[in-house]
Amino acid sequence: MSASSLSQPDNPLRGILCMLLAVALFSAMDAAMKSLTPYYSAMQIACLRGALAWPLVVLWLLSSGRHKTLLKTRWGLHLLRAVLGVIMLWAFVFSLQTLALAEAYAIFFTAPLLITAMSAFWLKEYVAPRHWVAIGIGLATVIYMLKPDGDRLISIGALMALVAAICYAVSAITVRILGRSEGTGNMVFWLMTLLALGAGVLAIPDWQPLRSELWLSFVLIGITGFGGQIAITQAFKIAPAAIVAPFEYMALLWGIGFDIVLWQLYPAFSMLAGATVIMLSGLYLVWQHKA
């Protein structure tokens, strides 16, 4: 397949389905990572996120023959993604030490808005004026949900969630650029490899032995991290970022569910109302994009 054909947004519907699957898997992974925060540093958890998924990625590459192209790659962009990935995961896991999963997601929801806006400038994807209106409404709702006059917004946890969102948005754009010349296997393998190595080196000073009683969390992180990374990489590769990004808002529903079931934390009405507006803005963006 030529580079030009790879760059075409050939299947928006499939991209949306991949994003929905990725959101479900990553939400489960985030819940598992949050369960580890009392025992390990944020950087060690970031390392484990890559290392636990790495064997599954290798098996997938070998079984599908995708390993043959691993060295034919754009090293600069992969290194950029790795740096962004380390910072993003460290910051997000750090935020989970003090925030509920749904609260962290509410702040992280600036990422899809940033991705859609960035796609217009970096990827030259068309974003109509009415799309910008939807983005503005969604961003205003996020600001309302964050309650700028409250203590939460200026907490370290909230700031780290925002840092994670910015890193994620830039990383998603690089996926779209890499997808024009490289396959999903290359992108997933090098991200997991460099993430595990980079975060692992930085985690050495505070490294703690792995606890056998936490085996279920380790397994969940490996499986959901592997499947989610493939799904989200494929989503941004085969569909415009402006189309698939809004569906990441579904993570809030998963976050609320995990908060209630695992930690008995219930969301405020303002969060539910804001989430409804944000999801409607995202759906409107998709419908108008197709119009």
Q: What is the pLDDT of residues 38-67, one digit of tens each?
A: 999 999 999 999 999 999 999 999 998 888
Q: Using an 8 Å Cβ cutoff, are 119 and 255 in contact?
A: no
Rg (CA), the chain: 18
58, part of any domain: yes
Query: Residue 129 is encoded by which pair of tokens?
Result: 């004026």
7, part of any domain: no
Count of domains forming the chain: 1
Q: Using an 8 Å Cβ cutoff, are 218 and 108 in contact?
A: no
Q: 60: helix, coil or strand?
A: helix
Q: What is the pLDDT of residues 171-206, one digit of tens each?
A: 888 887 887 778 888 888 999 999 999 999 999 999
4, part of any domain: no
The pLDDT of 260-278, averaged and rounded, is 84
232, part of any domain: yes
37, part of any domain: yes
| pTM of the complete model | 0.82
121, part of any domain: yes
Q: Using an 8 Å Cβ cutoff, are 168 and 111 in contact?
A: yes
78, part of any domain: yes
Q: What is the pLDDT of residues 65-121, one digit of tens each?
A: 888 878 777 888 889 999 999 999 999 999 999 889 998 888 887 777 777 788 887
5, part of any domain: no
**Distance (Å, rounded) from C-alpha 144 to C-alpha 148?**
7
Boundaries of domain holding 141: 12-290
